[in-house]
Structure 1
Amino acid sequence: MNNFFKRLAHDATVPLEDMLGRLVKKFALIIMAVGCVIAASAFLTVDLFLYIESVSSPVVAAGSIAGFYAVFALLFFSLALRRPAVVETGAPPPQTVAALMEPANPALLSAPSAAARPTAAQFAANLDTIASPILDALREAGMQKEAKAVEAGTQVAKQLGPFSLVVMAAGAGVFLGRTLGSKRKLL
């Protein structure tokens, strides 16, 4: 079973490592390109200054170049701060999440807090519904230890509640990711 998890972890991490490698290469190339654009801009600015200075005075050259950069700065700020245009379509306006979660039956609207948040019994029933096919498959495969581990995990999840379960899963994911990402030999 341990070899299965090793292979599963390897198959899951190889595409991520490839993607991360490509991302780092692209980021490095973009940083080098930005550096070259900045250097080119500096040399073109000096060249423009020298040309305008030969035609006119140094004060006019400095002022014209400063004005040139100020106009482009204002243009870029206005583009960055503008709001996106609203596209008119024939479709109805999008509904909010709260409107989508409202029950169609008006009789169920008497207890909106119960409809919005599941009770502990509903949460436990949902967990049992999710875990039962997994437990059946593990028991049919003769994996009794794994089935007991899933049962224990289900019991812990029932006691934790939804928010604590998400926090614990995120922490376990970080720990597992660090463990699988290290170059240590797994047992």
Structure 2
Amino acid sequence: MTALITRLARDAAAPIGQMGERLLKMATLLFVAMCCLFFASVFLTIALYTFIQTFEGTAIAALGVGALYVGVGLICIILALRSSAPPGSAASVAAAPVETDEKRPEPSPEFATNIDGTIAPILDILRDGGFERERLAVEAGATIAKQLNPFSVVAFATVAGFMLGRVLGRRDPPGDAAA
């Protein structure tokens, strides 16, 4: 049972790791782009403006320098927003976590008692409402949670929340099907 949960958690955490890696790359590229735009505007504007002004005049010099900076900035932003490695590629497979056989500490009995006390009112409501399948699902989830330590339960709930959010985010609104 623990191997199944470990595998599910590892498989569910892989998209989160890939998303974090893409966000880090994008933030780095945006930071470099902003630094380049800032330093370029400070050091080159005066020199370029003065150089062009001697040949073409003040207005053309200002337009030329502005257009150059807008072009460089747009190129950097486009590069930052482009996704680098699609899921399933060699780069994303190489970044997969390595499985270890290290022994996890057993959860405390107080933790299991706390779980039982927390879900008891929920089970009573489900039993009174006639939701037998839902009651069994909650009991199964509590049994799994008792086998994990508190940190693993929080991590598992977070991963499950991300997965549920992605599934709910992909659904089309009911009004779109009729249109």
- Using CA pairs below 8 Å that are at least 6 residues apart, which structure has the higher relative contact order? 2
- Please, what TM-score do these two structures have when normalized by structure 2? 0.38
- Higher Rg: 1
